[in-house]
Chain A
């Protein structure tokens, strides 16, 4: 971790900033004509924006030591629900609301299984992942559905004062969630539960309820991300979100939020998502075939996670040794 801001403010920013700078320089040297352009920078931001939103819920979940594997398929499902509803004549607003509601409902199902009944979150959310992915295929009948709505198209591609609406939306969502995590009781509770669920419980915090909220939040943000993705292309594919669950986990971990819980935050996740997208688009610009890209990014993600796990273990060892330092 390096401290980007004054040490007094104690806002730790992961060393990932260096990673981003390195990648930018690297790709700029390799592809000087294409990479360091305003167009490309905006492209990266637009592509990052969906991943950032999908990772907001995952950040909160990993903070409380949980995972949601259904993020990607909820995205797909939300997209196709809106598309099918809007195409069948339902007002767009109602369609959007319905999609988000379905996303939150899946969050409730996840929360019920994991937070209330204490089932294993890998298997539980893997099951809802299968259900949501299947439902998305059913709803869309296996097809990609085009949405012929100017407003929907504007949501994905329109500009406000020269800036993409999408990017503004993400900025607002991130700012809002930074506030929630940093300043509100809910945010404090999340950090407390993540630090030690037992301590939180003994302090009178309702761990189950808060975890439930986090799962619902994950469903909400997944649905929003899915809608953003659909709006960008004015069409919804039932497998659009397929890779997003793991990309979101990767963005969170790269961003310095640890599986141990209670440590890290949204700021790092945003940078993590941007880094992942720089990597994808950069590899694209280098003309590397998609099959190789998948393998390269997979290896990078796992390497980063392994590094995170090892680093965490080292830190713990050191901390347990430091106990007597200032008696």
Chain B
């Protein structure tokens, strides 16, 4: 990759985040540039976007997509809510995690063994999971959980909110898993070239299935945190997660062509998304516009990637090849 392209690739996202924060600080310092606002955005809103976007990132790295995470979050939370209310935390949480794994496993089987396009497969699981959640709850909230459980969502350790801490821990685990283990290597390899990976004696099918299982697990964890945070399990909240997490993943530098990207970039991407939403709220932009804006962010990041690729190809054809140690 040429120097210019790699700089564009690496820093454009951080720059974008910086511009948003700087711009808002100048425009509306009294509402934006406050401790309360930043802590709400970073410690309360960002963790969920980040967790869901991690799953989307892994899926997109393997040339897939995971539309089902939002509804897995809903299904796992409403189904374990009854146990949590009876203070049977272990059973409740274990049930949620197991259910998340099961949903992810079904996604993986549909995609790798049956050969259904990832979008359709995860859409099917999304539909089914959401339907089950509605049937189970009759469309009603489940609320009012014991304080012990709620402390997961609102408590702090050394002044750092639990939510942020757990998200950070998961980030460390995923970063380690994707960058430093053979599983990560297999995952990127399958994303670049599924067939060649299989023909190297690696079970690309199992690798991709595992990715969707991780996603199911992530969604279940997010579901538990969500319940603890809001003190409610709501079957109607799955809506915006998919669009936001695709936007966060792509603006975070993961390529829709598979094989490229990282969870670190996705953290930046998620922050961009939550800050944009936060800025729009502060500016009094009606929520109806926000979906359009997020859609534009996806288009923008696709174009950004295309531009990067174009510049790097151009540089190559001019013979200015510098070797990227990747």
Q: In the complex, which residue of chain B has the Cβ closest to the Cβ of A312?
A: B115
Taking a contact as CB atoms under 8 Å apart, the answer to whether A295 and B131 are in contact is yes
Tell yes or no: A117 within 8 A of B by CB: yes
Tell yes or no: B79 within 8 A of A by CB: no
Within 8 Å CB of A119, what residues of B? 256, 302, 306
Within 8 Å CB of B220, what residues of A? none
Task: Please report which residues of chain A, range 112-149, place their CB below 8 angstroms from some CB of chain B when the two chains form the complex.
Answer: 113, 117, 119-120, 122-124, 126-135, 137-138, 141-142
Task: Give the distance to chain A from B194, nearest Cβ to Cβ, in Å.
Answer: 15
Interface-located stretch among B81-89, B121-129, B144-152: B121-129
Task: Give the distance to chain B from A180, nearest Cβ to Cβ, in Å.
Answer: 27
Taking a contact as CB atoms under 8 Å apart, the answer to whether A130 and B295 are in contact is yes
Interface string of B294-317 (1 = CB under 8 A from A): 111011001000100000000000
Tell yes or no: A154 within 8 A of B by CB: no
Taking a contact as CB atoms under 8 Å apart, the answer to whether B299 and A127 are in contact is yes
Interface string of B105-149 (1 = CB under 8 A from A): 000001000111101110110011011101100110000000000
CA distance in complex: A249, B135 (Å): 25
Taking a contact as CB atoms under 8 Å apart, the answer to whether A134 and B288 are in contact is yes
Task: Please report which residues of chain A, range 84-136, place their CB below 8 angstroms from some CB of chain B when the two chains form the complex.
Answer: 109, 113, 117, 119-120, 122-124, 126-135
Known pairs A130-B298, A131-B295; A309 contacts B114 (CB<8 A): yes
Tell yes or no: B290 within 8 A of A by CB: yes
Interface string of A284-296 (1 = CB under 8 A from B): 0000000110111
Q: In the complex, which residue of chain B has the Cβ closest to the Cβ of A297?
A: B127
Tell yes or no: B65 within 8 A of A by CB: yes
Taking a contact as CB atoms under 8 Å apart, the answer to whether B114 and A127 are in contact is no
CA distance in complex: A137, B158 (Å): 43
Task: Please report which residues of chain A, range 201-248, place their CB below 8 angstroms from some CB of chain B when the two chains form the complex.
Answer: 238, 246
Tell yes or no: B182 within 8 A of A by CB: no
Within 8 Å CB of B294, what residues of A? 130, 134
Interface string of A234-275 (1 = CB under 8 A from B): 000010000000100100000000010000000000000000
Q: In the complex, which residue of chain B has the Cβ closest to the Cβ of A250?
A: B120
CA distance in complex: A305, B116 (Å): 8
Tell yes or no: A169 within 8 A of B by CB: no
CA distance in complex: A294, B123 (Å): 12
Task: Give the distance to chain B from A134, nearest Cβ to Cβ, in Å.
Answer: 3
Interface string of A302-316 (1 = CB under 8 A from B): 100110011001000
Known pairs A117-B306, A141-B288; A128 contacts B295 (CB<8 A): yes
Taking a contact as CB atoms under 8 Å apart, the answer to whether A113 and B302 are in contact is yes
CA distance in complex: A305, B120 (Å): 8
Tell yes or no: B250 within 8 A of A by CB: yes
Taking a contact as CB atoms under 8 Å apart, the answer to whether A134 and B124 are in contact is no
Q: Which of A124, A134, A310 interacts with B292 by CB under 8 Å?
A: A134
Within 8 Å CB of A135, what residues of B? 292
Tell yes or no: A299 within 8 A of B by CB: yes
Task: Give the distance to chain A from B288, nearest Cβ to Cβ, in Å.
Answer: 4
Q: In the complex, which residue of chain A has the Cβ closest to the Cβ of B250?
A: A123
CA distance in complex: A138, B287 (Å): 9
Within 8 Å CB of A123, what residues of B? 65, 246, 250, 256, 298, 302
Task: Give the distance to chain B from A259, nearest Cβ to Cβ, in Å.
Answer: 7
Within 8 Å CB of A134, what residues of B? 288-295
Within 8 Å CB of B292, what residues of A? 130-131, 133-135, 138
CA distance in complex: A119, B291 (Å): 21
CA distance in complex: A123, B242 (Å): 11
Give the bracket for the number of chain A residues in contact with chain B. 35 or more
Tell yes or no: B257 within 8 A of A by CB: yes
Q: Which of B139, B243, B299 interacts with A291 by CB under 8 Å?
A: B139
Q: Which of A124, A129, A138, A246 interacts with B123 by CB under 8 Å?
A: A246
Taking a contact as CB atoms under 8 Å apart, the answer to whether B291 and A133 are in contact is yes
Task: Give the distance to chain B from A314, nearest Cβ to Cβ, in Å.
Answer: 11
Within 8 Å CB of B299, what residues of A? 109, 113, 124, 127-128, 131
CA distance in complex: A217, B127 (Å): 28
CA distance in complex: A295, B139 (Å): 13
CA distance in complex: A119, B250 (Å): 13
Taking a contact as CB atoms under 8 Å apart, the answer to whether A120 and B131 are in contact is no
Task: Give the distance to chain B from A294, nearest Cβ to Cβ, in Å.
Answer: 5
Q: Which of B124, B250, B295, B306 interacts with A305 by CB under 8 Å?
A: B124
CA distance in complex: A82, B286 (Å): 22
Task: Give the distance to chain B from A124, nearest Cβ to Cβ, in Å.
Answer: 7
Interface centre among A123, A141, A292, A313 (most CB of B within 10 A): A123
Interface centre among A124, A128, A238, A309 (most CB of B within 10 A): A309
Taking a contact as CB atoms under 8 Å apart, the answer to whether A129 and B295 are in contact is yes
Q: In the complex, which residue of chain B has the Cβ closest to the Cβ of A133?
A: B291
Interface string of B19-61 (1 = CB under 8 A from A): 0000000000000000000000000000000000000000000
Within 8 Å CB of A120, what residues of B? 256-257
CA distance in complex: A27, B246 (Å): 41
Q: Which of A128, A291, A299, A310 interacts with B135 by CB under 8 Å?
A: A291
Within 8 Å CB of A306, what residues of B? 110, 114, 116
Within 8 Å CB of A301, what residues of B? 124, 127
Task: Give the distance to chain B from A196, nearest Cβ to Cβ, in Å.
Answer: 19
Within 8 Å CB of A130, what residues of B? 243, 291-292, 294-295, 298
Interface pairs A-B: 3 shortest CB-CB: A295-B131, A134-B292, A298-B127
A-B contact pairs, 18 of them (CB 8 A): A67-B119, A117-B302, A119-B256, A119-B306, A123-B250, A123-B256, A131-B291, A131-B292, A134-B292, A134-B293, A137-B291, A141-B288, A246-B123, A249-B120, A302-B120, A302-B124, A305-B116, A309-B115
* 17 more CB-based (< 8 A) A-B contacts, given A127-B298, A134-B289, A301-B124: A122-B117, A123-B246, A123-B298, A124-B299, A124-B302, A127-B299, A131-B291, A131-B295, A133-B292, A133-B295, A134-B293, A135-B292, A141-B286, A298-B131, A299-B127, A302-B124, A305-B120
